[in-house]
A and B are shown apart, each in its own frame.
Chain A
């Protein structure tokens, strides 16, 4: 079975803090679950952030996360990526990522997009209701909100791009090695 390339984009959730760690994305007590699907309700459960409610319906409809620096630091748990995947959030846009989290995203065929600080800042100033659309070759994405529109180019390492195209590292490695 060849895994399909994922669908990217949708309403964005803004997480306005740096250094959000994987314990905040999915607490360790859920690491005993034996399927990715079982993680779905626990997304960002322990994240304490003004104006953010992990139970909000907005999170259930979201398709993208926009956040600050060093997202996904701490534990290597891929559960932190899966909990986004099973909630149909296949892209995270940040100023920077922790290495293992970023690798886990591409390994699952998902997009971890790094943008310069100024562009992240502009996304944040667009306000809450922002919808992200990604072009077919994922070279750009567009953010549309009440206050206007912003187009950002997606700069990916070519190998990471291949992983996204292949639907992840397992599919890629299984073919090649």
Chain B
């Protein structure tokens, strides 16, 4: 019998099998940010083990609260910064060049097909978009990863999600993943890896695949994963040109990481998304999802566009497409956080920042900010936010606040209208000079 991509990656990285159910893997990339790493660093120091297994395989960034907002966050940043300097970790990103980890690290070409990746952050599953096994872990796993370069997992079971059909206008990867989470529920994929395949995924850009994989954890999955193909090779080409003769050659080589046709799946979900309308969450759990058309009229106080789910250039382009020439509705605050400096720069060069600022948005530096209710747009009790982030837990963006998760296009439609609105009504209209 054949193997799934996850089984192939496990087999290629197996360090130990403490029991037939468990695997200890060698880790290719250990990623660190300033919220979950400092306690690991302090603990290693107190044990007299302030070492790292391989400076080149550790990547670190200050991204959750940057610039630091108070003494405590400044101490966290300092702890990570001094540790990175002490060990001469070459890939450390501090203020001026930092951005949201799950957007920044892929952009730097750090994640390759077949890699094993861990980070003390649940949305590490994002990197599965590159055909890697990438899992969020806690601080102890991270600490062992930093020290020994290994991590333990139960042997993988894979849930295959086959996405058929064609995305309708105004419908994006975010709508697809919300619809999938609604079907799977918040623990429908616990202890499983979600393999996203089918013509819709094949047609998606890397950015869209990252959006898809980013929210795999919201169904409980260990990792989301896509087969590495020509789209992957084209995205990675600047970083792999010395390893391959051509993009085509890389694409062929990546096939070694594809699941075999006779691989064994724990479960399968087949969807046709041709008629899928824009989706949004209505409650405090990411599986509480409805059609946006069933939520129209809900008043919003804030619109947040950014995060590791939807703060990439493609997302900002979609939003700017309908925002151009329009303004925020009265009484709505708009916050836009490009996910990385590169995205920021591109958005500036393409005139996207101007569109957002002309509309009345506050454009922030790249950071996690309001996504986890730490800074840059925390809600007051009773306030409602239309957000492109990935979590709508009670209190996530501020105690007593309500977050409706949706695509950048739907969030922008809410920004213009002041209420949740079907974004498709804004598509294809002549916007310049339009006085709305």
Contacts of A170 in B (CB 8 A): 43, 140, 143-144, 147
- A32-B72, A77-B138, A100-B138 given as contacts; is B394 within 8 A of A177 (CB)? no
A24→B137 contact, CB < 8 A: no
Interface check A67, CB cutoff 8 A: no
Known contacts A173-B144, A177-B16; A99/B394 CB under 8 A: no
* A19 contacts the other chain (CB 8 A): yes
Assess the B187–A108 pair: CB atoms within 8 A: no
**Given A76-B137, A96-B190, A98-B187, does the pair A169, B121 have CB atoms closer than 8 Å?**
no
B33-41, B169-177, B237-245, B274-282: which one contacts chain A? Answer: B33-41
Judge whether B152 is part of the interface by a CB distance below 8 angstroms.
yes
Q: Is the CB of A23 within 8 A of B395?
A: yes
Residues 47 to 70 of chain A near chain B (Cβ within 8 Å) = 48, 69-70
Cβ contact within 8 Å between B373 and A32: no
Cβ of B25 to closest chain A Cβ, rounded Å = 11
Interface size on B, residues (CB 8 A): 55
B358 on the interface (CB 8 Å rule)? no
On chain A, the residues within 8 Å of B111 by CB distance are none
CB distance from B184 to the nearest CB of A (A): 12
15 A-B pairs with C-beta separation under 8 A: A23-B391, A23-B393, A23-B394, A28-B396, A32-B70, A32-B76, A33-B72, A35-B42, A76-B36, A76-B137, A76-B138, A99-B190, A103-B152, A157-B19, A169-B152
A169 touches B144 (CB 8 A): yes
The answer to whether A31 has its CB under 8 Å from any CB of chain B is: yes
Q: Which residues of A contact B (CB under 8 A)?
A: 1, 19, 21, 23-24, 27-29, 31-36, 46, 48, 69-70, 73-78, 81, 96-100, 103-104, 107-108, 157-159, 162, 168-170, 173-174, 176-177
Within 8 A of A (CB), among B156-202: 186-187, 190-191
Please report the C-alpha to C-alpha distance between residue A77 and residue B191 in the assembled complex, in whole angstroms: 17
Interface residues of B in 286-315 (CB under 8 A from A): none
Q: CB-CB contacts of B140-151 with A at 8 A, as 1s and 0s? A: 110110011010
Closest to A31 in B: B35
Which residues on A sit within 8 Å (CB–CB) of B121?
76
**Bound Cα distance A149, B24 (Å):** 39
Q: Please determine whether B144 and A34 come into contact, CB atoms closer than 8 angstroms.
A: no
Residue of B nearest to A160 (CB): B22
- Cβ of A99 and Cβ of B220 under 8 Å apart? yes
By beta carbon, the residue of chain A nearest B398 is A29
13 more A-B residue pairs beyond the given contacts A29-B373, A169-B144, with a C-beta to C-beta distance below 8 A: A23-B393, A27-B373, A28-B373, A32-B73, A73-B220, A77-B138, A78-B36, A96-B187, A96-B190, A104-B138, A107-B138, A158-B18, A159-B152
